[in-house]
Amino acid sequence: MSEQSLVFPEGFWWGAAGAAHQVEGGNINSDSWLLEHVPGSPFTEPSGDACDHYHRYPTDIALLASLGFNTYRFSIEWARIEPEEGEFSFAALDHYRRVLAACHEHHLHPIVTYHHFTSPRWFAAKGGWEKPENAPLFARYCAKATAHLGDLIGAACTINEPNVGLLIQNMGHMPSDTMLANAPFRKAAAKAAGSDTFAAFPNCQQALARDSFLKGHTLAVEAIKSGPGNFPVGITLALSDHQAVPGGEATRDRVRSQVDDIFLDLARADDFVGVQTYSRTRYDANGPLGPEEGVERTLMGYEFWPEALEGTIRYVAGYTHKPVIVTENGIGTPDDTRRIEYVRRALAGVHRCITDGIKVDGYCYWSMFDNFEWSMGYRPTFGLIAVNRTTQARTVKPSAVWLGNIARANILKG
Ligand code: BGC
């Protein structure tokens, strides 16, 4: 069979992604840091120095650009920018200004996420995302950050995956809200914070967080749009490709409506939808089925299913009629050849969507580095670039060179 050349639209955004808490290191004012250190912590290990990206961003950004990418998706950290309620750190804001300036210096479009799971400790100790009345506090931070950084931002994501807890709960991999509300680690964290509550996302009551996020997103868009800057603003969602086996259609549709559609309804008013997809979930009439026998699994335990991305892009575009940016897609694997295969097949799916007239503006691989994979610590390796946990030395994997070359050429040969 002759090799096909899949040409992507001119100006396509080719990126790698990361999140502050997962790469910066020393994020000590965040709710997650506290939870990582309480007895019975839901984390297998603390984030510690992470990838020390807070200090190493100039060389990291230069490296990403030198590989051929034209986009960098990263998050700014609320816990650094507002370490105490109402007290804003101009030093932290200046830091992110320098990160943005480095992106521009290296011709990388900066996609900025304002909230990637972590919040300041004080916010969690006030009930965090479990209290919709706290949502304006997030919007105030968004306004402050935009006032300082907006002129340099290329695109903005308000909240990263507000539906991820609902998704995992639906799959039976996360405790119920009642169990989360009474978890011993949560009580220990509240005590350490000198409060009677400690609601840190995603280890908090999902039904309550959902309502706050819906409100928080709308307020944040308004705050970010007040400028400066005139860039697209959207939300990013954790999207599994929900598939029904015969008889499972109604169950699948119910999950979709509770986990995805309520946020997609909101996204209809936005400039784009950030699609974040890793695998698929199958349903029969009783609920989600586990991975299918014989299908390869990734380090996360779910199926190696790169075609899931095409499925979710089609669903989102059909539902919202909005442009899509793939803000995350990737695989945790120790075998870099499987990473290349996964991305190759995922990108072929993106290209099929584009050919069918769906507006997909970019693709960001998750993640730039082997980084702190939340409760699972540093074990799952998603990165295009490996990081030595002692020396912080970076090692570029073959997949990074491979994907960077595709980005440079804007063509996937498949
Ligand atoms: C999150 C990332 C996470 C990735 C891989 C996404 O749900 O946005 O923070 O590391 O998936 O599990």
Q: How far apart are CA 156 and CA 100, in angstroms?
A: 12
With respect to residue 377, please indicate whether it lies within any of the assigned structural domains. Answer: yes
Please report the pLDDT score of residue 1 as a whole number.
43
**3-state secondary structure (DSSP) of residue 365:** strand
Q: How far apart are CA 327 and CA 313, in angstroms?
A: 11
Alpha carbon separation from 293 to 69, 143, 303, 306, 308 (Å, rounded): 37, 49, 10, 17, 17
Distance 70 CA to ligand 1 centre (A): 21
How many Cα atoms are found within 13 Å in the side-chain-facing hemisphere of 273?
Answer: 31
Domain limits for position 252:
6-412
Q: How far apart are CA 288 and CA 22, in angstroms?
A: 29
Q: What CATH number is attached to the domain comprising 383?
A: 3.20.20.80
DSSP 19: -
Work out the percent of the chain whose per-residue pLDDT is above 70: 99
Q: How far apart are CA 307 and CA 290, in angstroms?
A: 17
Distance 22 CA to ligand 1 centre (A): 9
Annotated catalytic, 161? Answer: yes
Q: Given the CA of residue 300, which atom of ligand 1 is nearest to it?
A: 12
Pocket test for ligand 1, best of 366, 370, 381 (most atoms within 8 A of CB): 366
β-pairing verdict for 411-413 and 280-284: unpaired
Q: How many domains does the chain have?
A: 1
Q: Given the CA of residue 373, which atom of ligand 1 is nearest to it?
A: 10
Pocket around ligand 1 at a 6 A CB cut-off: 19, 22, 160-161, 164, 238, 276, 328, 366, 373, 382
Q: How far apart are CA 349 and CA 307, in angstroms?
A: 6
Question: Contact at 8 Å (CB) between 47 and 33?
Answer: yes
**3-state secondary structure (DSSP) of residue 313:** helix
Residue 202, preceding bond cis, omega within 30 degrees?
yes
DSSP 12: -
Residue 136, preceding bond cis, omega within 30 degrees?
no
Please report the pLDDT score of residue 4 as a whole number.
84
pTM for this predicted structure: 0.98
Residues 6+ apart with CB under 8 A from 323: 232, 271, 272, 273, 359, 360, 361
**3-state secondary structure (DSSP) of residue 412:** strand
Q: How far apart are CA 308 and CA 316, in angstroms?
A: 12
Packing angle between helix 336-355 and helix 308-320, nearest 10 degrees?
30
Give the tokens for residue 131. 């209290």
Torsion sign, CA atoms 126, 131, 134, 139: positive
Distance 75 CA to ligand 1 centre (A): 12
Give the tokens for residue 152. 């340099």
Q: What helix, strand, coil percent values describe the chain, rounded to 5? A: 45, 20, 35
The protein residue whose alpha carbon is closest to atom 12 in ligand 1 is 373
DSSP 298: -
Alpha carbon separation from 144 to 89, 271, 298 (Å, rounded): 10, 21, 40
C-alpha dihedral, 55 to 60 to 65 to 66, nearest 10°: 130
Catalytic site residue from 36, 77, 130, 161: 161
Strands (DSSP E) found in 263-335: 272-277, 280-284, 287-289, 324-329
With respect to residue 1, please indicate whether it lies within any of the assigned structural domains. Answer: no
- Which residues of the chain are modeled with pLDDT < 70? 1-2, 414
Residue 235, sorted as left (phi over 0), alpha (psi -120 to 50) or beta, turns out to be beta
With respect to residue 297, please indicate whether it lies within any of the assigned structural domains. Answer: yes
